[in-house]
Every structure is written in C-alpha cells, then in structure tokens.
Amino acid sequence: MTRFVFITGGVVSSLGKGLASASLAALLQARGYNVRLRKLDPYINVDPGTMSPTQHGEVFVTDDGAETDLDLGHYERFTGVAARRTDNITTGRIYTDVIEKERRGDYLGATVQVIPHITDAIKEFILADVEEEDFVLCEIGGTVGDIESLPFLEAIRQLGNELGRERALYIHLTLVPYLKSAGELKTKPTQHSVTELQRVGIRPDIILCRSECALPPEERAKISQLCNVPADNVISAPDIETIYEVPICYHDQGMDRQLLRYFGLADDERKPNLKRWRRVVKRIRKPEREITIAVVGKYTSLIDSYKSLVEALSHGGIANNVRVRQKWIDAEIFESEDAVHQLDGAEGILVPGGFGERGAEGKIAAARFARERRVPYFGICFGMQMAVIEAARNLAGITSAGSTEFGDCPEPVVGLLTEWLHGGQVERRDHDTDLGGTMRLGAYECELRPKTRVRKIYRKKRISERHRHRYEVNIRYRKQLEKAGLCFSGMSPDGVLPEIIEFPEHPWYVGVQFHPELKSRPFEPHPLFASFIGAAIEQSHLV
C-alpha cells in the first residue's frame, strides 16, 4: 500500500521545503521503505526550461529528458532515486493537458472548470506511475495563501478524503522568526499560516518550524496548543551547518517515528540506519584542509542557478577529505586583458554550463589561462565548447573559430546540430524550432577511448550522462584539433557527437558536453568531480 505525504509551506517562500521533503524521504528510506518524491509547481510555465536561471535557479534534467525544478536535484542527492518526468508538474502542464483534451472533445460537452477538471488532473498526476513505493512525498510549491496554489491545495484536500486518514498525511513547513528587539521567537506567523491552511480544509498533522535556532519547549507547546497538533509533532528545523545534517536533526526529534505512528506502522520494526549520513557530515565538518576552485560563470548573482554544481564540488571534496572553497567569478570580468590574474591562487578552474554570447570571451580567456599555466581545468557543457574554441584559435590556427550560438560564424567549431540519434530514433531541430523542451535532453550514452584520462577515471568503456544543450562541437574540425594536441576521448556510440575532450599533456584538462553534476551524490561523489578535486590538491602542493 502506498501512502502519500503532502508538504506545504507557509509564511514566506525559500524556507527549504525541497530539502525538508528530501530529508524526510531519506529517513524513511534509511528505515528500509521505498520512497518517491514529487514536486507540484503552481506557475504557468509548462516546465522551468524556458525560465532564466537567475530567477528560478537551476533547471534539473532527469534521465528521461525532463527539465524540472531544482528541488528534484535535492530529492536525487538525498535518496539516490532517479527522478522521472512524472515527478514534476506545473499549472502550465496541467492546463495544457486539460485544454488539449477539451479540444479533442474528450469532455463530451461538459463545461470545463477548475473544479473538477483541473483538480482531477492534479490528482491523476499525484497517483500516476506509482508501483512499489511505500511512500510518495508530494511537495507543493509556493506559499499557502497564494492565489495560484489554490487548485493544488484543493486537489490534495480531496485526495486526503479519498485515500483516507491511513494513507494521507499533511506536513506544513513554516517560519518562526526571531525578533531581536524582543529577544524572542515568534509563533504568530505560524498560527496564521495554519489558519490559512485550515480555511481551505487542510489540517496539518506535523508542523515543521524553520528558525535561526532550535525551538524551545514553550514555543513548541504554544504551537501545539494553538495549531491543534500534538507537541511531539511540532518539529524544530533550525539553521544548521550542512544540509546533509538535516535528516539527522529531524530524526533526533522523532519526526520519522511520529510519521510512522500516524500511519500505524510499528516504530521499532525497522530502526533507521543513519551511519552514512553521520559519516558524510563528519567529513564536511572536519576536512583535512581547504582548496580553492575558481568557477567562472555567468549567473553568479544567484548561486541556486548552479545548485547541483555547488553540491557536486562539495562531494568531490568529501571524496578527497578537503573543503572546497568556491570562488565565483563573473566571466565578463575576464574580457579585459589583465583580469585573468584573478585566477592566480586558484588550484582549479571550472567553467560551467551557460547560454548566450555575454561572458563567452571571458570563459575562453579562463580556459586559455588554465591550459597555459597548467592549472586543472574542468569545462562543463558550455565550458567544454569554449575550451574547444580556445584550442581552435590558439593552437590549431583557426583564428576566427566560434559558435553559431552567437550568430553566423566563418569557422563554426561549435554549431547547431539539426539531427541526432536518440535510442535508435532520429531527432530533428532547426533554427525555427520552439525553445521549450527542444534541446538535446536527458541521458545519452558515450564511449570512452582506451588509454585516456576519462577512461581511467570512470573505469568503464561506456557511460551514460545527462545533457541539456542545443549546440555541439563540430566533428568536421576533429582532425585539425587532434593535430593541435586535443584528444576526443569520449564520443557518442555512433561516433558523430564529441562528448568529452582532454589534453593528455596537461595535468588535468577535461571538457564534457554533458552535465555530470546532475548525477553526483554525497555518498557517491561523481568520479569526474572526485578526480578534478584530487588534481587540484596535487596542484596546490606544487605552488
């Protein structure tokens, strides 16, 4: 029997509902239960693929090629369960489906309305594609009280009634602010938020309180009394040093026990095994030393736009027992000649994914600096494309090398790919194709050439990694680039798409067309990140 846990948020946004959901799922998983996490987003975009990363944060790509909310990244990192297309829905997607059905005449003359048609579609999504799961945790995006989340709240209210008490539980995450002038934590916003939730017919079973410090017993008692929840079900979620400690923090307060008791599942049957969580936290807290990686990107104003990257770098640190200090530098700075000295002192340089011409020359300059100074370089997606342009211009003598992403170009070393193979099928695009959902998306296989650095790192002949890009390194330049010393160490199985490049003579210089950060986990740091950080440590011994 699958049980459903609905997580709503109140008072303010950005409380970390995604992390809270992922942490609870991790606890249930540590007790041996099968879990699945889902995100329901109330915005009108069909998916976050077309949203600016500086507004909405990273777009997380699943193996099956869906562009999803960044919370799905937390879900994967905390549970190791690969998210699917069916795990993220938006208002836009729901309406698109309902309107398509209406046009087909599927509603047989009915007036199509928010209730029941939209709410039914939301319920269908929540219940679909569930098999062996013991628990499905559904996070509702937005804040209670927002107009756009109403249909979602109505749908989960109805589901609670339909599934019955023994299969549905509601968790409400709120903020308990600390008022300096009064020297107190304030519970009033939580009370109001719960009232707001009750107005739409939902009574929370567990209240999770975000605050700067741990919730004292009096405040807990107050929330319990005024919000109609047993005191043991009021859980404190204080700010802590590392996100990987959150599951331990919840467990220490009995959150998983309370949830299982609610469902009538004996608590003592399966004790959670939190050893690996404790080990990771210890490594993060007490690293042997610190190294600095310069990340030369574009969306540096909102660190959430590179969420998985930030985590993957820290996983690379965990693998090597070091703390990775990330020095984020806006690529545009490098467009002036001498700014490159900003990179002095960095033990590794990483150029992450990105879109558009702004900052591109700065990234090319950073790639050149890394190559010439023999500093470990990791180019991801756009970072690989810029590294190839750099090599073409400065090593292969193709001085006007560029990418067609920036307009017409005499030497398109990186160009728009109009046709490729995916799972035996040909996919086609051109310049006029819609922007949403049309990139090369999701998991693709890649063959690693023997005796290369990446082959040693992965210890495999064939790998599978996730993609999200429109442009590709142009295979027509391969010979020229190889002559100049660049090795094409990973190729698509049909030999058409360059997936990985490296400089064999350099201490560590790797560019990948995919996004390895999407598959890195605290317990299984991605091999490329672990190796890159290892190389940066080596480098630091040299200076």
Interface with ligand GLN, residue 471, by CB under 6 A: yes
Annotated catalytic residue within 467, 469, 515, 526: 515
Whichever of 283 and 467 has its CB closer to ligand GLN, that residue is: 467
Whichever of 246 and 381 has its CB closer to ligand GLN, that residue is: 381
Burial of 106 (0-12, 13-18, 19+ CB in 10 A): exposed
How far apart, in Å, are the Cα atoms of 477 and each of 158, 393, 494? 59, 12, 17
Of positions 101, 470, 478, 521, contacts ligand GLN by CB under 6 A: 470
Query: In the numeric block, which tokens belong to residue 265?
Result: 């599942």
Whichever of 18 and 353 has its CB closer to ligand GLN, that residue is: 353
3-state secondary structure of 124: helix
Binding mask 385-404 for ligand GLN (x = CB under 6 A): --------------------
Whichever of 371 and 468 has its CB closer to ligand GLN, that residue is: 468
Residue type present at position 490: G
Output phi, psi for 42, to 5 deg.
-80, 5
Distance CA 434, CA 110 (A): 32
- Looking at 105-113, 333-341, 386-394, 469-477, which segment touches ligand GLN (CB under 6 A)? 469-477
- Looking at 18-26, 149-157, 453-461, 468-476, which segment touches ligand GLN (CB under 6 A)? 468-476
Whichever of 202 and 370 has its CB closer to ligand GLN, that residue is: 370
Whichever of 211 and 385 has its CB closer to ligand GLN, that residue is: 385
Distance CA 540, CA 392 (A): 29
Whichever of 317 and 354 has its CB closer to ligand GLN, that residue is: 354
Distance CA 520, CA 499 (A): 18
**381 in active site:** yes
Binding-site size for ligand GLN (CB under 6 A) equals 10
Binding mask 403-442 for ligand GLN (x = CB under 6 A): --x-------------------------------------
Output phi, psi for 245, to 5 deg.
-95, -10
Shortest gap between Cβ of 415 and ligand GLN (angstroms)? 10
Distance CA 34, CA 132 (A): 7
CB atoms within 10 A of CB 408: 7
DSSP code of 41? E
Distance CA 475, CA 59 (A): 28
Burial of 270 (0-12, 13-18, 19+ CB in 10 A): middle
How far apart, in Å, are the Cα atoms of 372 and each of 190, 342, 351? 56, 15, 16
What number of residues does the chain have? 543
- Looking at 188-196, 296-304, 463-471, 491-499, which segment touches ligand GLN (CB under 6 A)? 463-471
Annotated catalytic residue within 138, 209, 227, 381: 381
Shortest gap between Cβ of 59 and ligand GLN (angstroms)? 9
Distance CA 251, CA 73 (A): 22
Of positions 93, 220, 468, 519, contacts ligand GLN by CB under 6 A: 468
**517 in active site:** yes
Binding mask 330-359 for ligand GLN (x = CB under 6 A): -----------------------xxx----
Q: Which residue is nearest to ligand GLN (CB)?
A: 353
Whichever of 357 and 445 has its CB closer to ligand GLN, that residue is: 357
Annotated catalytic residue within 117, 138, 517, 526: 517
Shortest gap between Cβ of 384 and ligand GLN (angstroms)? 8
Interface with ligand GLN, residue 381, by CB under 6 A: yes
DSSP code of 192? H
Contact between residue 531 and residue 507 where contact means Cβ atoms under 8 Å apart: no
Shortest gap between Cβ of 522 and ligand GLN (angstroms)? 23
Interface with ligand GLN, residue 362, by CB under 6 A: no
Interface with ligand GLN, residue 469, by CB under 6 A: yes
Distance CA 367, CA 224 (A): 56
- Looking at 130-138, 254-262, 452-460, 466-474, which segment touches ligand GLN (CB under 6 A)? 466-474
Q: In which order are the strands placed within the sheet that holds 509-512?
A: 322-330, 289-297, 348-351, 377-380, 509-512, 498-502, 487-491, 440-448, 462-469
Output phi, psi for 291, to 5 deg.
-130, 165
Shortest gap between Cβ of 374 and ligand GLN (angstroms)? 25
Q: Closest Cα to residue 237, out of 218, 215, 220, 270?
A: 215
Shortest gap between Cβ of 414 and ligand GLN (angstroms)? 7
Whichever of 327 and 470 has its CB closer to ligand GLN, that residue is: 470
Shortest gap between Cβ of 513 and ligand GLN (angstroms)? 8
Residues in Cβ contact with 325 at an 8 Å cutoff, skipping those fewer than 6 apart: 290, 291, 292, 293
Of positions 135, 382, 477, 503, contacts ligand GLN by CB under 6 A: 382
Shortest gap between Cβ of 434 and ligand GLN (angstroms)? 14
Q: In angstroms, what is the C-alpha Rg of the chain?
A: 25
Q: Which residues of the chain form contacts with ligand GLN (CB under 6 A)?
A: 353-355, 381-382, 405, 468-471
Enzyme catalytic residues: 381, 515, 517
